[in-house]
Amino acid sequence: MLVVAATGPATPEPSQRPTFAARVESVRVDALVTENGQPVPGLGPADFEVFDNGVRQDVEFVSFEQVPLDVVLALDMSDSVAGERLDHLRSASYAVLGGLAGEDRAALVTFNHTVSLGSPLTKDVAAVRSALNLARGSGQTALVDGAYAGMILGESETSRALLLVFSDGLDTASWLSSAAILDAAKRADIVVYAVATAGGGSPFLRDLSAFTGGSLIQIASSGDLRTTFLRILAEFRQRYLVSYSPRGVTTNGWHRLEVRVRNRRAIVKARPGYLAGSQP
């Protein structure tokens, strides 16, 4: 969302609060535009209206299926993810990797009671696939810590970042607080889609996806993972990247965003706002 440089620990220490220094020069907003449930293609800058804290902005750039994707998989590998459930999760992740092309990149984070970097962002899909092959389910669930690690990996000024989080339970082992990570999400240039099995959709995942303009999707069983992951990737490719330079608004604090499409009865799904300025 923000074209800024993010600073923060690559591996958060237990007592640290994530910090992002933000200098707002341009704001990027990922927006899904649908009409009658179907994505609307072919829109340009003149078709969009963006309001930042109620002030109309000049839309400078709109891209559709042109900017490379960075897809970060943050996957629950606690002891409940084993056997058939792990097989389903691998199959779903392989399908996402198979759907990448061109300049797209992928990364892998796994979490149980600790967070592990399976692979940094890379165009080498085979390397990410190999890291998935080594993952095993054990231990508790550091969901918040794992989501934060995925956010850090996905920060980029040149690509569009999708963080795809899967968990089949609630957080039982994180050091970081959910409030701190949600605050970081309001500054981060990433869209989060979270997938949870029945009973695993925590308020944290709901809020994390909402603040970044993504979705929380609950599935009946792990057998639905492959279809769900592919649907998320397809939807993300259909989103527009809308950019503007803020004018007439303060440089610090919470900025409420509203994105509209002119002269159409279209529904726009985008993040509700962003935080600008350095944290105290």
pLDDT in tens, 104-133: 999 999 999 999 999 999 999 999 999 999
In one-letter notation, the amino acid at residue 227 is T
pLDDT in tens, 75-98: 999 999 989 999 999 999 999 999
Q: How far apart are CA 174 and CA 233, in angstroms?
A: 28
Place of tokens 């923000």: 2
* Of the candidates 107, 72, 75, the residue with the CA atom closest to the CA atom of residue 88: 75
Residue 249 phi/psi, 5-degree rounding, is -130, 160
* Of the candidates 278, 208, 239, 199, the residue with the CA atom closest to the CA atom of residue 4: 278
What 3-state DSSP class applies to 270? coil
Q: Are strands 160-167 and 69-76 parallel, antiparallel or unpaired?
A: parallel
* Of the candidates 151, 195, 146, 192, the residue with the CA atom closest to the CA atom of residue 172: 146
Contact 190, 112 (CB under 8 A): no
Residues of the chain with pLDDT under 50: 1-23, 280
| pLDDT given for residue 67 in this prediction | 86
**Burial state string for 51-60 with b = 16 or more CB within 10 A and e = fewer than 16:** ebbeeebebe
